[in-house]
Amino acid sequence: MKTVLLDAGNSAVKWRIVSPDGPWSDADPRGTIPIDGPHLAEEIRSACGSAGHSPSDAAGCCVAPQSVQDAIDRATIAALGRPVRWFSAAARFESRGISVRNGYRDPAQLGTDRWHALIGARTVRPQGTLLVVSAGTATTADTLTDDGRFVGGVIAPGIRLMHDSLVRGTARLPRADGAYRRHPDNTGDAMQTGIVDAQIGLIERRIRQIRADQAAASAPGRDADDPAIHVLLCGGNAELLYKAWADSQAWDPGTAVTRSVEPDLVLRGLRLRWTGEPRT
């Protein structure tokens, strides 16, 4: 039995067709559909029948408007005979050796995409302290401790929102795309570099906070099993941030911070929810 996984975000729907027990593979049929496109439902129906795989089920999470969720449901009913099994955040997740506990004051308030990205991140990095950075319409940075506790995270405007805010709020800054430069010498590059540096600064500050928490919690003379902080970047701007962070030389290998781009963490987490929790 195969299912189509759907991650309905603020600007696009990511989809992937998977089996419950097969490997997570680049060969899986997958794609991205803009949520504001005129043919959203048609493209969802087409995705459900992608490459003749004919999934029998659909599972997803949604932070898009209700109208988008309703359109997706109509499309999967037409294609599969049933609506999407929508998942939200929960107080705890345990399955297949993965354990994640939600430390939000109200666990249901946590964005479903952030929750599933944390679960997906743990499948990629089964041990260690994780900082899961989702760089999309918004940029979020969420901390998962070595023992599986989500202790909280931050939300900031993403790169495009920051750029749009600058253009709207100033009289003479242009609506022009720039590039990340060490020493920008034109306005477009200056805006892009300042925005990206702000995003990297957010990540580095969260790393310092994790380090302070680790130091305060550690017993004298006892080292953690895995003292590294693993930063996992996902979302549409993940590659841009990863490259700029490396180019900036703002990181210190002595601090034991690893960094990687991990696409589709939300969909990885969704597959575990789909296979790990029985239908009701």
What confidence tens digit (pLDDT) does each residue in 213-226 have?
988 887 554 455 56
Q: Which of 7, 113, 142, 264 is catalytic?
A: 113
Domain boundary among 71, 86, 101: 86
Instruction: List the end-to-end C-alpha distance of the chain, in Å, as a whole number.
Output: 18
Which DSSP symbol is given to 221? T
> What is the distance between the alpha carbons of residues 37 and 8, in angstroms, rounded to a whole number?
13
Residues 157 and 211 in one domain: yes
Residues 60 and 110 in one domain: no
At 245-280, the pLDDT tens digits run 987 655 555 568 899 999 999 999 999 999 876 554
Q: Other C-beta atoms within 10 Å of 109: how many?
A: 9
48 located within any domain: yes
| 228 — pLDDT class (breaks 50, 70, 90) | confident
At 142-173, the pLDDT tens digits run 999 999 999 999 999 999 999 999 989 988 88
CATH of the domain at 38: 3.30.420.40
Looking at residue 53, its pLDDT comes to: 64
3 state DSSP class of 262: coil
Q: For a pLDDT cut of 70, what percent of the chain falls above it?
A: 91
Looking at residue 221, its pLDDT comes to: 46
Q: Is residue 63 predicted with pLDDT exceeding 90?
A: yes
Residues 154 and 262 in one domain: yes
Handedness of CA 95, 100, 105, 107 (dihedral sign): negative
Give the helix, strand, coil percentages of the chain, each rounded to 5: 40, 25, 35
* pTM exceeds 0.85 for this model: yes
Tokens standing for residue 80: 């599969």
Annotated catalytic, 164?
Answer: no
CB 228 within 8 A of CB 258: yes
Domains in the chain: how many in total? 2
